[in-house]
Chain A
């Protein structure tokens, strides 16, 4: 389910360093996972997704790792840039389904100059 009423965890990194954002998901039956980036005052923006038949997927400067054993998802951002500062949400759901996604509580990433 969704985490309501919690303050966002924060992560501060130096520009140029790598960032790792973690997420614990709740439903072991979920087979589709997405990372979203949300800048202040805007809607979530798709970053990368992964299905449960994979444990790693790479995009441009981003990598998602999935550990189904412990229901853990992580997003790695290489060479973090100031434009990466945002709130990052993981979401879990079911492929091939119109059912809703369930969002994690989010992590505020701040990139320091």
Chain B
């Protein structure tokens, strides 16, 4: 149990286009999901916290108009990178916190590799 999927697993796009990444909790409900970005040989950088039915909370320095997050259901959150540029190329990882758990374990997706040409 506690599987999180991401789609697509990798995407290549042209500069200026928008890309949508989906994060799904497959066998549990997740009131809260998190979006991270990871550059090569670096740690995970939290971008935003996504709460079902409400606006996402963005970390300092993350542009909310560029990284649109929608958490429309208890099993799906989406991250849209708008007007992507080469510097947005990164590994994007989501995690989901199981609603029923009393402690803060997060289950991670496999990540999405974004390459902007």
Residues of A within 8 A of B (CB): 2-8, 32, 34, 36, 41-46, 49, 51, 89, 93-106, 108
Interface contact A41-B111, CB-CB below 8 Å:
yes
Number of B interface residues, CB 8 Å? 28
Q: A2-B45, A5-B42, A100-B46 are in contact. Are A32 and B108 (CB under 8 A)?
A: no
A-B CB proximity, top 9 nearest: A43-B108, A95-B103, A98-B32, A93-B104, A44-B108, A43-B110, A43-B111, A103-B44, A103-B43
- Interchain pairs with CB closer than 8 A, number: 77
Q: Is the interface of B mostly helix, strand, loop or mixed?
A: strand
Q: Is the interface of A mostly helix, strand, loop or mixed?
A: loop
- In B88-112, the 8 Å CB interface with A consists of 91, 93, 95, 97, 102-111
The answer for the CA separation of A43 and B36 in the assembled complex, in Å, is: 10
Contacts of A2 in B (CB 8 A): 43-46
